[in-house]
Amino acid sequence: MTQIECTLCPVHGSLRTRGMTFKGTIASARAPKTAVIEVQYLRRVPKYERYEKLRSKIHAHVPECMAVAEGDVVEIAECRKVSKTKAHVVVKIVSKASGAFEEESVHAAKRKKPSRKSAGKG
Ligand SMILES: [Zn+2]
């Protein structure tokens, strides 16, 4: 049995999490042990009594025990500053991105287009 050396990990290491947790999609996983997570959230606009959809990108640390790729949906938690730009750590992979999933989203986008045109009256 080989033991995973995970020092900066909330499960295997001593990295403690606190504060906020976010769920988002991985926008980039190019840098080693790092992932850029895009988080979508709603903010209420009092004047219009509606919500505006906002998104922001959070750089998070990826522990050695986790293998993430672009498009994966992950859960991140706030922790101490790990590097200059990282103060969050990936704690859970919610769903993996796959080819079948991408096809589905393409079909969904195709379906949306004609319905928008037909609804454009008044
Ligand atoms: Zn670990």
pLDDT at 4: 62
Q: Where does the pLDDT of residue 5 fall: very low under 50, low under 70, confident under 90, or very high at 90 and above?
A: confident
Distance 10 CA to ligand 1 centre (A): 7
pLDDT at 17: 95
pLDDT at 100: 43
Report whether pLDDT(116) > 70.
no
Q: What are the DSSP E strand ranges found in 80-116?
A: 88-95
State the pTM of this model: 0.73
Higher pLDDT, 44 or 103: 44
Q: How far is CA 104 from CA 3, 19, 107, in A?
A: 39, 35, 5
Q: Which residues have C-beta under 5 Å from ligand 1, the single-atom ion? A: 6, 9, 11-12, 63, 65
Q: According to CATH, what is the number of the domain 17-109? A: 2.40.50.1000
Closest CA to 59 of 46, 47, 71, 76: 76
Report whether pLDDT(1) > 80.
no
Residue type, 24: G
Distance 62 CA to ligand 1 centre (A): 9
Distance 20 CA to ligand 1 centre (A): 20
Distance 102 CA to ligand 1 centre (A): 29
d(CA 122, CA 106): 29
Query: For residue range 34-56, what is the model confidence (pLDDT) as tens digits?
Result: 999 999 999 999 999 999 999 99
What does the mean pLDDT of the chain come to?
85
Residue type, 72: D
Distance 14 CA to ligand 1 centre (A): 10
Distance 66 CA to ligand 1 centre (A): 7
List the chain domain ranges.
Answer: 17-109
Distance 17 CA to ligand 1 centre (A): 13
